Amino acid sequence: MDQLDLFAQQAPSLDRAFATARRVRLDETSWVEHVPAWLTGSDQLLRALIAGAAWEQRLRRIADRMMVEPRLTAEYPDLADAPHELLRTAAAVLSAHYGVPYDGLWINFYRDHHDSTGWHGDWATCRRELCVVPVLSLGATRRFLLKPRTGGRSVALTPAAGDLIVMGGRCQRDWRHSVPKQTTPSGPRVSVNFSSRLQFQRS
Ligand SMILES: O=C(O)CCC(=O)C(=O)O
Ligand SMILES: [Fe+2]
């Protein structure tokens, strides 16, 4: 086994202290936090999810046309069905830290740099005024952008493998987020989005 394989097979470890967290205040009531290297040794998890998650090709209505989403998605409304034990541990650590009981997941697979997700707010999973939505990145580094719903300059984050992005406050109402296509070739990326039934209910 060479150095690279040894590194790739490093045992996974979660930073329960969130020591690297950097919070960006988007406006008076919205924020986003970037936690670099929150999960180290994430390579095995990436491979297990690509190989074993229940991937579906979804359609999305844009204007009056149904478009094939340029990514695959696997949804686990019940955390008990999560396709990897480490995701249940991650949900428990996030719940303790952010004070929200995460009990479900949806996972996205961006097969290469052509895959993307357009500007949106997470309506289906956040109907409360204030939500905390963690997204764990695995695999290739891609740009994660946020911009105000009413327009204006975007804020760019570049989550790498094992980084956590957490959107909070009124971010799902007042801001939009996206993962744009890029011209530079990239390998696969998987994002794990944590949901909570508590946040489904309107407040
Ligand atoms: O892939 C990401 O980092 C974000 C995914 C996302 O925003 C979503 O699925 O709602
Ligand atoms: Fe989203």
Q: What is the DSSP string of 54-120?
A: --B--EEEETTEEEE-SSEEEEESSGGG-SSHHHHHHHHHHHHHHS----EEEEEEE-STT--EEEE
Q: Has this prediction a pTM greater than 0.90?
A: yes
User: With a 6 A CB cut-off, is 42 part of the ligand 1 pocket?
Assistant: no
pLDDT at residue 201, as a whole number: 81
Instruction: Quote ipTM for the complex.
Output: 0.99
Point out the ligand nearest to the CA of residue 72: 1
133 C-alpha to center of ligand 1: Å?
10
Binned at pLDDT 50, 70 and 90, residue 63 comes out as confident
Map out the domains of the chain as residue ranges: 20-200
The answer for residues whose C-beta is within 8 angstroms of residue 140's C-beta and 6 or more apart is 110, 161, 186, 187, 188, 189
Binned at pLDDT 50, 70 and 90, residue 3 comes out as low
**CATH number at 20-200:** 2.60.120.590
User: With a 6 A CB cut-off, is 122 part of the ligand 1 pocket?
Assistant: yes
Using the predicted structure, report yes or no on whether residue 117 has a pLDDT greater than 80: yes
Binned at pLDDT 50, 70 and 90, residue 62 comes out as confident
Q: Residue whose CA is closest, atom 2 of ligand 1?
A: 191
Decide: residue 199, CB within 10 A, 0-12 exposed, 13-18 middle, 19+ buried: buried
From the list 177, 195, 200, 189, the residue with the least C-alpha distance to 32 is 177
**What's the one-letter identity of residue 102?**
Y
180 C-alpha to center of ligand 2: Å?
12
Dihedral sign, Cα of residue 66, residue 134, residue 21, residue 10? negative
6 C-alpha to center of ligand 1: Å?
30
Binned at pLDDT 50, 70 and 90, residue 6 comes out as low
User: With a 6 A CB cut-off, is 163 part of the ligand 1 pocket?
Assistant: no
Contact yes or no for 11/41 (Cβ under 8 A): yes
Contact yes or no for 34/164 (Cβ under 8 A): yes
Report CA 66 to chain centroid distance, whole Å. Answer: 24
Q: How many CB atoms lie within 10 A of CB 190?
A: 26
Q: Looking at the CA of residue 137, tell me the nearest atom of ligand 1.
A: 3
User: With a 6 A CB cut-off, is 171 part of the ligand 1 pocket?
Assistant: no
CA distance 62 to 60: 6
4 C-alpha to center of ligand 2: Å?
33
Using the predicted structure, report yes or no on whether residue 41 has a pLDDT greater than 80: yes
pLDDT at residue 1, as a whole number: 44
Q: Looking at the CA of residue 191, tell me the nearest atom of ligand 1.
A: 1
199 C-alpha to center of ligand 1: Å?
17
Q: Across residues 99-109, what is the average pLDDT?
A: 98
What is the 3-state secondary structure of 145-172? Answer: EEEECCCCCCEEECCCCCCEEEEEECHH
From the list 104, 72, 84, 82, the residue with the least C-alpha distance to 188 is 72
